[in-house]
Amino acid sequence: MRKPLIAGNWKLHNTVEESCQLAQALVTDLNDVTETEIVIAPVFTSLSDVGKICAGTTVQLAAQNCHCMDDGAYTGEVSVPLLANVGCSHIIVGHSERRQYFGETDHFINVKARAIIKHGLTAIICVGETLEQRESGELFEVIATQVRGALEEISPEQMSQVVLAYEPVWAIGTGKTASSEEAEEVHAYIRGLLHGSYGAEIAAQCRILYGGSVKPGNISELMAEDDIDGALVGGASLKADDFAAIVRYKKTLKMAAT
């Protein structure tokens, strides 16, 4: 049984004070939630203070990015050990905004994911196609390349420290959510890739989140799909009430197609 995971990506928003207020509201609001894992990813400058607020609560801390080296002459970068030191248990890598604006490749994402795993943290690895790729019939090829590239040299034992997030680029911050059927089709495909590389047990255990304009109004339908195990939420994670409502999504059974 995969435990649902709802993660909030705060992107480049919020001062330290605003981050702390939001985090405080969430830890208070969600202190009774045990059936779903909750993760929030503030900006780097807020991590230390938000980490103190999250310590010992049901809300876990994530960074939005990291560098692959532990220390050294890498101006402007932040390492996994330093992120662990301020309380991070998870790190997001491969977000489409990093691929698009910072030229991150599957290889670089893989190197970072391995650094995260080496230090005992969980990597939330994002994959997803652009609208152009989907429309030109490259969807599955793009997803396979990104998933295989990101998981290169990650052993079966290490897969318990990996969460995948399928985020169609055309659905991020656009208000356009993939339909639950469209999302499920790709999630099932990704699980098939995991089955091929790691076998049935690991494929069945690995959580695959959906991301792209998730809101309180569409989370239940998405979560009713067999292979959708949670969500990576951008915009709606900046409002405590919306994020809390997403975490407390109503469990529904998928209606049988007629």
Binding site for ligand PEP (CB under 6 A): 9, 11, 167, 172-173, 211-214, 232-236
β-partners of residue 92 are 124
Residue 20 CB, nearest approach to ligand PEP (Å): 21
Sign of CA dihedral 65, 68, 69, 72: negative
CA distances to 19, 146, 231, 237 from 95, in Å: 21, 11, 14, 16
CA distance 84 to 159: 19
Distance of closest approach, residue 21 Cβ to ligand PEP, in angstroms: 20
Instruction: Indicate the residue whose CB is closest to ligand PEP.
Output: 234
Active site residues: 95, 167
In the complex with ligand PEP, the residue whose CB is nearer, 95 or 203, is 95
Looking at the Cβ atoms of 119 and 182, the one nearer to ligand PEP is 182
| Closest CB 230 distance from ligand PEP, rounded Å | 12
Residue with smaller CB distance to ligand PEP, 68 or 127:
127
Find residue 4's DSSP bridge partners: none
Least Å distance, CB 236 to ligand PEP, is 6
Q: Tell me the two tokens of residue 208.
A: 């695959």
State both tokens at 253.
Answer: 């059974």
**Which H or E run includes 101?**
helix 96-102
Q: How close are the terminal C-alpha atoms of the chain, in Å? A: 28
From the CB of 126, what's the least distance to ligand PEP, in Å? 7
Smaller CB separation from ligand PEP, 61 or 203: 61
Beta carbons of 208 and 228 less than 8 angstroms apart: yes
Classify residue 137 by burial, with Cβ atoms within 10 Å: 0-12, 13-18, 19+. exposed
Sign of dihedral through CA atoms 29, 33, 36, 41?
positive
Q: Please provide the size of the chain in residues.
A: 258
Query: In the complex with ligand PEP, which residue's Cβ is closer, 201 or 241?
Result: 241
Written as six digits, the tokens of 252 are: 């529904």
